[in-house]
Amino acid sequence: MIYKRSSELFAEAQKVIPGGVNSPVRAFNAVGGEPVFIQRAEGAYLYDEDGNKLIDYINSWGPMILGHAHKPVVDAVIEKAKKGTSFGTPTQIETEIAQLAVKMVPNIDKIRFVNSGTEACMSAVRLARGYTGKEKIIKFAGCYHGHSDSFLIQAGSGAVTFGTPNSPGVTEGTAKDTLLAKYNDLENVRELINANKGELACIILEPVAGNMGCIPPAEGFLEGLRKLCDENEILLIFDEVMTGFRLAPGGVQERMGVKADIVTFGKVIGGGLPVGAFAANAEIMGHLAPEGPVYQAGTLSGNPLAMAAGLAMLKELDSNREIFNSIDEKTAYLHTGIAEALRENNITHTINRLGSMISVHFNDTPVVDFETAAMANNDTFRKFFHGLLENGIYIAPSAFETWFITEALSYDDLDKTIAAVRKVARDLK
């Protein structure tokens, strides 16, 4: 495929935007090469600036669960835009989408809308601190909760008691309140709790991880965290920015039957517009301003266009729940096909999948946490990524991402993808 125009646009962009992108992973640093500039998208396909058509497995990193430019969503946005794009006052549609979200998601009474997943997680942690009167939090190595300071903390070797900043600009004062644990390791969490008795406000995690590739929770892991939180008066925060309205109408809480105290959302809930949200029972949410003292605000929060897109999306998911089975089945079909194609060519790999989240790691041990994910062969991934792209298949340009399957993908698209994997695997051999 030819990417001449993309390359020219990237050169122009780099002169005025750091790295030429407004979010780092887009720049292809993990896989080398230059990013593809997209002109438009429809259904399962992206059309780039050079006229190439790509089958899309990123789907804006999750929101496009029904495919790109989905008509009910686009129509809702257009109709709303004609009536003004922002007022900074309450609007009826905010209540409508809140009512629907509260109906679809278990264990929540109230929801507050923000503009990104980052804001949702940042605010959820502030609320947990304000509610419990405690300051420390536990996060898991390899989980991503946005780019707010408290979350940019990564494991060194193994779990350490105090995190160290892994981005310059995060102060040590902030870092020391974020304790790192190993995903899927309950014993590690128990040790951290015991070493910090009475000081922990919350444990935050991706209940199905998607930011180190896809890593499902081990049997009993989420239930174990729930129990530890109950025993120690710690709030459990499920970051369902990826999994919410994807793995089930009610997210992981519904799918796995484990209750969270605070849940965060992003991606699907905004239908592709900038939306995040956090939710809890009425008592916890009652601590939020203006009802309570924990401050949180936003000039564009609950923006009418964003709410129109989100509401159109949630309405469709709520009224056609067969979609959730359908995307799971498509993902399972893809899983089988990719595994066969790689196996036939003796390519060492691990495929993790839960529902419509799936990822391929090129290593020979099970991938259960950040450490095992990081052991995968990145050189093979890099070749795999570029091989697929050459064949018109666009997956995330990093092994530390999940693929997102959409209802817009046809079985013909999936077969084409599997055929491309087979071809690339032959070359990799």
Helix (H) or strand (E) holding 74: helix 71-81
Residue among 123 and 417 whose Cβ is closer to ligand PMP: 123
Interaction mask 167-206, ligand PMP, x per CB under 6 A: ---------------------------------------x
Residue 109: active-site member: no
Residue among 122 and 421 whose Cβ is closer to ligand PMP: 122
What does 107-168 look like in DSSP terms, one character per residue? T-SEEEEESSHHHHHHHHHHHHHHHH---EEEEETT----SSGGG-B--SSS--SS--BSST
Angle at alpha carbon of residue 151, lines to 66 and 142, rounded to 5°: 70
Contacts of 394 (CB under 8 A, 6+ apart): 36, 46, 54, 55, 56, 57, 58, 388
Name the minimum Å distance from CB 326 to ligand PMP. 23
Residue among 167 and 336 whose Cβ is closer to ligand PMP: 167
Residue among 35 and 210 whose Cβ is closer to ligand PMP: 210
Residue 267: active-site member: yes
Query: Which amino acid is residue 223, in one-letter code?
Result: E
* Pairing label, strands 235-239, 110-114: unpaired
Residue among 214 and 242 whose Cβ is closer to ligand PMP: 242
Segment lying near ligand PMP (by CB under 6 A), choices 65-73, 77-85, 116-124, 300-308: 116-124
Residue among 49 and 206 whose Cβ is closer to ligand PMP: 206
Coil, strand, or helix at residue 208? coil
Q: How many CB atoms within 10 Å of residue 84? A: 10
Residue among 52 and 116 whose Cβ is closer to ligand PMP: 116
Coil, strand, or helix at residue 353? strand
Shortest CA distance to 213 belongs to which of 374, 60, 326? 374
118 lies in the binding site for ligand PMP (CB under 6 A): yes
Residue 131: active-site member: no
426 phi, psi to nearest 5 deg: -60, -45
Segment lying near ligand PMP (by CB under 6 A), choices 141-149, 305-313, 365-373, 388-396: 141-149
How many Cα atoms are found within 13 Å in the side-chain-facing hemisphere of 337? 20
Name residues contacting ligand PMP, limited to 249-278 (CB under 6 A).
266, 276
Interface residue with ligand PMP, options 117, 251, 310, 397 (CB under 6 A): 117
360 lies in the binding site for ligand PMP (CB under 6 A): no
- Report the alpha-carbon distance of residue 281 to residue 419 in Å, rounded: 48
Interface residue with ligand PMP, options 80, 134, 145, 361 (CB under 6 A): 145
> How many residues line the site for ligand PMP (CB under 6 A)?
16
Interaction mask 44-63, ligand PMP, x per CB under 6 A: -----------------x--
Name residues contacting ligand PMP, limited to 204-243 (CB under 6 A).
206, 210-211, 239, 241-242
Q: Are 160 and 132 in contact (CB under 8 A)?
A: no
What does 218-267 look like in DSSP terms, one character per residue? PTTHHHHHHHHHHHHT-EEEEE-TTTBTTTBTTHHHHHH----SEEEE-G
- Report the alpha-carbon distance of residue 148 to residue 411 in Å, rounded: 39
Residue linked to tokens 């390791």: 185
Name the minimum Å distance from CB 401 to ligand PMP. 8
246 lies in the binding site for ligand PMP (CB under 6 A): no
Segment lying near ligand PMP (by CB under 6 A), choices 138-146, 179-187, 287-295, 407-415: 138-146
Active-site position among 185, 239, 261, 328: 239
Name the minimum Å distance from CB 209 to ligand PMP. 8
Using CB atoms within 10 Å of the CB of residue 16, give its burial: 0 to 12 exposed, 13 to 18 middle, 19+ buried.
Answer: exposed
Segment lying near ligand PMP (by CB under 6 A), choices 97-105, 117-125, 251-259, 333-341: 117-125
Active-site position among 48, 267, 330, 413: 267
Residue among 26 and 383 whose Cβ is closer to ligand PMP: 26
With CB atoms as reference, the residue minimizing the distance to ligand PMP is 117
Active-site position among 3, 57, 131, 144: 144
Print burial letters for 366-387: b (CB count within 10 Å at least 16), e (below 16): ebbbbbbbbebbbebbbbbbbb
Interface residue with ligand PMP, options 41, 54, 98, 121 (CB under 6 A): 121
Helix (H) or strand (E) holding 172: helix 172-175
Q: Which residues are catalytic, by number?
A: 144, 239, 267
Q: Give the interface with ligand PMP as residue ranges (CB under 6 A).
A: 61, 116-118, 121, 144-146, 206, 210-211, 239, 241-242, 266, 276
